[in-house]
Amino acid sequence: MNLLIVSFGTRFSGACLMTDGRVMSHKTENADPAAFPGYAVEYVLSQAELDISEVDHVAFLGKPLSYFERLIDRHTRLFPFSFPAFFSDFRDFFIKKLKVKSSIKENLDFSKDIYYVELADAVAYAAAGEYSSEEMIIAVFLSDCLSLRTGGCYRKKGDGLFLLKELVWSDSLSIRRGLEMEGSDPGEAEKGLRGLMSCAENPSDDRAVLVSDCRFFSDLEVKLQRELKDLSFRFLDYNEIMEYAGRYVFAGIGE
């Protein structure tokens, strides 16, 4: 089975082609993250020597709710409030974010099944695959270009993965400051992570924390590893996220 993963409208756009659960090729585009990744799709199909007609399913990787929240937040902070500007952005959100399937069909001339994959679910699935513990808590938090906004706690039990709690940090800027500023004290990031973990029900001693959607780190990762001694901590790049999203879809459709 051939599965094409596409992502656009976030901080990056890209595509990943998987055949029978194995990654054949992946490609990201940075020129215009909001645009459909036409060149990336063309590249991954050519690398796999496939035509779009040979693709069985397409999965879209995104997080539209956090973008809707950002739209509301941005316009409520503006003074004076401009209804035409708000209406224009709101219309753009509905056209480009909520009509993802029609956009994919239009750009790919694709009429088969299209799946929607929430980014947090894909990253949590990645965590479940990275660690062997049968029962553990997995914390996930995601960044966008403004701040760290969304997070969630998942429990892994056997082969299952259950969402315990979804969070939106109110003090997201302080968490972002602790994470992304070079040479900064990671205390704020640690506080945010531990706050997320404490929201899980009956937290296990065996925990994993993953950070995704972050490209601006260097030695800060080492500092966080040192601070969070009792937690497993790593960053995922976009190609990994797309790969895990593909595995998530494969598991969901049972093939």
pLDDT value at residue 203: 57
- Kindly report the average pLDDT of the chain as a whole number: 71
Q: Are residues 131 and 228 in the same domain?
A: yes
Q: With 60 as the cut, is the pLDDT of residue 217 above it?
A: no
Closest CA to 231 of 201, 190, 202: 190
Is 159 in the same domain as 225? Answer: yes
pLDDT in tens, 238-254: 777 878 888 888 777 65
Residues 148 and 218 in one domain: yes
Per-residue pLDDT reduced to its tens digit, 173-190: 444 444 444 444 555 555
109 lies in some domain: yes
CATH number where 204 lies: 3.30.420.40
Examine residue 130 and state whether it is found in any structural domain, yes or no: yes
| Single pTM value for the model | 0.68
Do residue 230 and residue 151 come from a single domain? yes
Q: Provide the residue range defining the domain that includes 20.
A: 2-64+94-118+242-253
What is the share, in percent, of the chain residues with pLDDT greater than 90? Answer: 7
247: in domain:
yes
pLDDT (tens digit per residue) in 19-55:
887 888 888 876 665 678 889 999 999 999 999 999 9
The number of folded domains in the chain is 2
Domain assignment of residue 59, yes or no: yes
Residues 223 and 141 in one domain: yes
pLDDT tens column, 98-110: 677 788 888 888 8
Q: Residue 182: its pLDDT value, please?
A: 40
Q: Are residues 12 and 102 in the same domain?
A: yes
Tell whether 168 is covered by a domain.
yes
**In a shared domain, residues 154 and 138:** yes
* pLDDT recorded at residue 42: 93
Within a domain: 171: yes
Same domain, 132 and 165: yes
Assess whether 55 and 152 both reside in one domain.
no
Question: How many Cα atoms sit within 13 Å of 252 on the Cβ side?
Answer: 18
165 and 104, same domain (yes or no): no
Distance, in Å, from the CA atom of 252 to the CA atom of 15, rounded to the nearest integer, reads 20
225 versus 134: the higher-pLDDT residue is 134
Same domain, yes or no, for 137 and 111?
no
